[in-house]
C-alpha cells in the first residue's frame, strides 16, 4: 500500500515566520556583500575612532572577526542613498557616487563622494547621513567625524583640480524622512584640518594602544568618545580590534568592557572623581535649564514661536519647550 503524505498546510504563523526569516536573511546577505577589508582606511573611516585608524595604519593583527549582523539600519541607509542620490544629482546638476583618491601625509586614501556639483555655481560637495531622529544634530550640530569625512571629499576634489566652495551635510530621519541640513564654506584652513587628521592617525600608528578612543574633532573642537561594546549603537561592536583595545573579556553588544579601565585603587579613585564631577555638572545644568524654562515657555504661550539670537524658541505638539540652534550657516 502506498502512503500518501499530505502537503503541509500553512498557517498565518508559518507564513509570517517565512517572511520574517526572509527579511532577516536578506539583510544579512546585503551586509555580508558590503563587508570590507579591515585594513582598508577609506575616507569614510577618517573621522571615526582614532585608535581604530591607528590600528589599521600600524597593521596591528586583528583580534575579532565580528559576527555578521543584519545591519538593518545601515542597509536602509544604503538603499535610501541608492534611490536618492541619482535624483538629487539631477536636481543640483551634479554627479553622484564619484570615486576619487585623497592624498595626505604620504598616504593615498580612496573615497566615494555621495554627490558633487563642480561645474555649476561655486562648487559643492553633498553628503547624506541617515539617522534615527534629528534631535542630537539639531542640538549639537553635525557630528565631528561626518564633518571631517565630508571635508575630505571636498579636499580630494580640489586636489583633482575642481573648485569646491561649499560642503553640505544633510541628515535624513529614516522614520519620517525629515531633514536637517548644514552648509558651510570650505577654505584652506578646513582642508588643512583634513591633512592634520590623516597626520594625527599616522602619528598614533607608532603606538596604537595609546591612541585616544575618540573621533576626530568637530568644528567646535568636541570629540566623540567611544564607549566600548554596548547593547546600544557603538562602533566598538563591529571593530576588528575589540579585544586588543578593551581586553579579552570584551564581547560585542555587551556593556561592561569599561570595567577593564579600573585595574587598581588609583583607577577606581579616578573613576569616582570623574563620576562625581559629571554628576555636579549635570545637576547644575538641570537647575539652569529649569530656571530659564518658565520665562521662555511663557513668551511662546503669549506670542508664539520666536527667534532669539541664533536659536528658534517654540513648543512641540505635546507642549514641551523646544529651543534649537538655527543650523544654516
Residues of this chain that bind ligand SF4 (CB under 6 A): 49, 51-52, 55, 213, 226, 235-236, 239, 241-242, 245-246
Question: Taking a C-beta distance cutoff of 8 angstroms, is the pair 120, 306 a contact?
Answer: no
CB of 310 to ligand SF4, least distance (A): 33
C-alpha cell at position 291: 530656571
CB of 127 to ligand SF4, least distance (A): 21
DSSP one-letter string for 281-301? HHHHHHHHHHHHHHHHHHHHH
Neighbours of 112 (CB within 10 A): 13
- Looking at the DSSP assignment, which residues form a beta bridge with residue 315? 321
Nearer to ligand SF4, 155 or 238 (CB): 238
Nearer to ligand SF4, 198 or 242 (CB): 242
> What Cα–Cα distance (Å) separates residue 174 from each residue in 76, 226, 310?
8, 23, 27
> What Cα–Cα distance (Å) separates residue 301 from each residue in 12, 53, 69, 312, 317?
51, 50, 47, 14, 13
Nearer to ligand SF4, 99 or 210 (CB): 210
Nearer to ligand SF4, 124 or 240 (CB): 240
Report the relative pairing of strands 166-173 and 124-131 from DSSP bridges: parallel
CB of 241 to ligand SF4, least distance (A): 5
Report the distance separating Cα 78 and Cα 133, nearest Å: 17
Nearer to ligand SF4, 51 or 146 (CB): 51
Nearest-Å Rg of the Cα atoms of the chain is: 24
Report the SS3 class of residue 254.
coil
CB of 69 to ligand SF4, least distance (A): 15
Nearer to ligand SF4, 54 or 131 (CB): 54
- Please, is 309 exposed, middle or buried when counting C-beta atoms within 10 Å of its C-beta (0-12, 13-18, 19+)? exposed
Q: Which residue in this structure is represented by grid cell 602619528?
A: 203
CB of 254 to ligand SF4, least distance (A): 13
CB of 235 to ligand SF4, least distance (A): 5
Nearer to ligand SF4, 74 or 299 (CB): 74
Buried b vs exposed e over 268-297: b needs ≥16 C-beta within 10 Å?
A: eeeeeeeeeeeeeeeeeeeeeeeeeeeebe
Nearer to ligand SF4, 95 or 243 (CB): 243
CB of 158 to ligand SF4, least distance (A): 29
CB of 145 to ligand SF4, least distance (A): 11
Amino acid at each position: 500500500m502506498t502512503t500518501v503524505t499530505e502537503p503541509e498546510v500553512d498557517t498565518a504563523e508559518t507564513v509570517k515566520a517565512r517572511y520574517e526569516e526572509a527579511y532577516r536573511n536578506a539583510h544579512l546577505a546585503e551586509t555580508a556583500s558590503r563587508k570590507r577589508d579591515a585594513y582598508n582606511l577609506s575616507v569614510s573611516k577618517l573621522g571615526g575612532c582614532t585608535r581604530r585608524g591607528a590600528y589599521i595604519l600600524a597593521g596591528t593583527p586583528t583580534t575579532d572577526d565580528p559576527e555578521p549582523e543584519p545591519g538593518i539600519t545601515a542597509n536602509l541607509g544604503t538603499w535610501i542613498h541608492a534611490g536618492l542620490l541619482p535624483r538629487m544629482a539631477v536636481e543640483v546638476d551634479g554627479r553622484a557616487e564619484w570615486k576619487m583618491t585623497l592624498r595626505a601625509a604620504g598616504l593615498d586614501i580612496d573615497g566615494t563622494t555621495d554627490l558633487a556639483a563642480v561645474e555649476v555655481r561655486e562648487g559643492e560637495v553633498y553628503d547624506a547621513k541617515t539617522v534615527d531622529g534629528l534631535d542630537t544634530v539639531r542640538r549639537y550640530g553635525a557630528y565631528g567625524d561626518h564633518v571631517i569625512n565630508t571635508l575630505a571629499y571636498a579636499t580630494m576634489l580640489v586636489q583633482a583640480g575642481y573648485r569646491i566652495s561649499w560642503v553640505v551635510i544633510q541628515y535624513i530621519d529614516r522614520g519620517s524622512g525629515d531633514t536637517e541640513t548644514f552648509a558651510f564654506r570650505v577654505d584652506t584652513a578646513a582642508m588643512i584640518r583634513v591633512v592634520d587628521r590623516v597626520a594625527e592617525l599616522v602619528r598614533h600608528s607608532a603606538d596604537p594602544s595609546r591612541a585616544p578612543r575618540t573621533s576626530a574633532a568637530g568644528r567646535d573642537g568636541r570629540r566623540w568618545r567611544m564607549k566600548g561594546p554596548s547593547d546600544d549603537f557603538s562602533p566598538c561592536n563591529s571593530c576588528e580590534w575589540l579585544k586588543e583595545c578593551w581586553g579579552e573579556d570584551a564581547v560585542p553588544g555587551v556593556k561592561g568592557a569599561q570595567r577593564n579601565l579600573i585595574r587598581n585603587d588609583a583607577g577606581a579613585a579616578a573613576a569616582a572623581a570623574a563620576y562625581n564631577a559629571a554628576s555636579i555638572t549635570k545637576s547644575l545644568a538641570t537647575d539652569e535649564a529649569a530656571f530659564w524654562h518658565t520665562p521662555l515657555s511663557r513668551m511662546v504661550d503669549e506670542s508664539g514661536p520666536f527667534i532669539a539670537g541664533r536659536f528658534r524658541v517654540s513648543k512641540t505638539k505635546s507642549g514641551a519647550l523646544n529651543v534649537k540652534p538655527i543650523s544654516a550657516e
